Amino acid sequence: MTQRNLSIDIKSVTTIVTVPNQNTHQIQFINSPIGILKTFWRDDILYRLEFSDLPVSVITEQTDAPGLPSIACTKLQHELEQYFLGELDQFETNTILEGTTFQKSVWQQLTQIPYGETRSYGEVAQMVGNPKAARAIGMANNRNPIPILFPCHRVIGANGKLVGFGGGLDRKIHLLELEKAAR
C-alpha cells in the first residue's frame, strides 16, 4: 500500500449548548479529503455527522472563540486519518443512532458490509430480514445520521450503478475507490 501524505485538521467550534436537565451538545468540524465533516456530540458520543461544502476559511470566520476538540473528537480524527490512509476498516468511536427501530437495524447492517465491497439495496433488505424492503432501505440510508462510520456509501443499485448518497455521488465514488484501492 502506498503511503499518502494526509493531514486531517479539527476545527472545534464553541457551539456548546446546555439544555436544562439534558446533556451538553457540541459541534466540531473535521477537515478531511472529502471536505469538511461537521460532527455533533452529546457527552462525547457522536450522534450525527454531516458533509459541508463550506471552505475551512468560512468556518474559521464563523467561529467566535474556537474551543479545544474533545478527546472523543480527537479519537475520531485519528480514526478518520487511518481510514483515509486505507489502514482502518472499523471505527470504534462511541456513537448513538437516533431513528426508528427499522432504520437502526438497517444502519447496523451497513457495518456488516465488508470494507471495499458493496451490496445492493435488495441485498441489504435481505440482510435485515425483509427482502421486499429495498425502497425502505434506500429511505433509511437517506436518513443515515452517521455516514462513513455506518457506511451507506457501500450500498448501490441492483444493476450495479451508483445511486444516491447524502454527501453527493462524488464523495461516494471517492469513498468506494479509496476502500477498493486499500483492499
Q: Residue 115 — pLDDT band, cuts 50, 70, 90?
A: very high
Helix spans in the chain (H): 56-62, 71-84, 101-110, 121-127, 134-142, 169-182
Could you tell me which of 42, 8, 48 has the C-alpha nearest to residue 148?
A: 48
Could you tell me which of 21, 154, 47 has the C-alpha nearest to residue 39?
A: 47
- Segment 143-154 mean pLDDT: 97
Unique residue bearing C-alpha cell 447492517: 109
- Catalytically active residues are 152
Mention every residue, 6+ apart, whose C-beta is less than 8 A from residue 8: 30, 31, 32, 33, 77, 80, 81, 84
Residue 171: pLDDT over 90:
yes
Weakest-pLDDT range from 40-44, 46-50, 155-159:
40-44
Mean of all residue pLDDT scores within the chain: 83
**According to the model, what pLDDT value does residue 14 have?**
37
Q: Residue 66 — pLDDT band, cuts 50, 70, 90?
A: low
